[in-house]
Structure 1
Amino acid sequence: MNARSLRHCELGRFGGDTMKSIALGASIFALAASLSACGGSGSTATKTVTRTVTATATVTETAEATDTTDAETTSEYVPTKADFTLGLKILSKECFGSAGCNLEFRLKPSYTGEEFDPGQTVEVTYQIVGSEDPYTNTFTMTGDTNASVNERESVQTGTAGKISAKVTDVELVNFSD
């Protein structure tokens, strides 16, 4: 007899509360029978919950320091005018009153910039300030230490007989071309 037939037969003999209890029991019985038919036991029920979780992560990477050699560090630097200071060593001075003076000098360049590739050569053009006539010359420097200058240079000046030097241009050169 199924739950519906049982409820119908008993309806006339028992009161309303009794009928509700019988109906509830029949429903439980039917549920248990359904679980048994599906392969489960009447006393255990399994609930499956699926949850989707979204996570956001921030990743910060630290770059490893790389060891560079001096050649790699210095090869990219090209000297500028500001990297040079020019001094003069007066070798001789002859003055002729109002006619001015003849000066012999040697240029004393100093490099004060960043290291640059020892294989690089730069040409440094300079001007002598204070000479009667414009005087411009050039020296070369290989690496940041070896300057090639003239041993003796000469100019004529006014009566004061004072001169100075200033860099006017610096150019990276490649003599193999």
Structure 2
Amino acid sequence: MERRNTVSKTYGSSNNAARIDTSKLSLYPLPGDMLADLQDAFTFYDKEDTGYITIAHFRNILHNFGFHNMSKKEIDDELKRADSQFLQKQSVDIDTVKLVIGYRWNKGGKEEEAKESFHLFDKRDRGYINVNEVKTVLVNYLDFPVNDNDIQEFMLQCDPNSSGQVGFKDYAKLYLS
């Protein structure tokens, strides 16, 4: 009972909180590491442990989970798909966050992320990458040392016919696995 009172004081009545049908969550599964990251982000903003975060904080989470290339209108349209009354809400719970991110991830977000990642390697937009580009990017972006064996292993996983060039399709297959 005390938790409900805290929620009401902090975010207004429960009518102003976005809640979803949790059975929808299974329709749009997320990888375990992404779920853990979402939970961490939600917990970061839910400092009072009410189970809700503000819409402004929710938008920050969306930005960090693949919505950064979208306009405000596109984001609002996406949010309305989760709940037609969403934009009138003042707060959201973790299940709503999971549903919105899961919907986007499963409806093209993971492919978009793979393309963005591939573009880090393919700076000249040739449609393929080679061992030198892989090495340069991994050395510059990873926090741990990368050796030639690591690079060769990566190339073997992405380049099944050993051509020395990795196209987006083969890269995406590994990236999304």
Range into which the TM-score falls when normalised by the shorter chain: under 0.3
TM-score by length of 1: 0.24
Say which one has the larger Rg.
1
TM-score by length of 2: 0.24
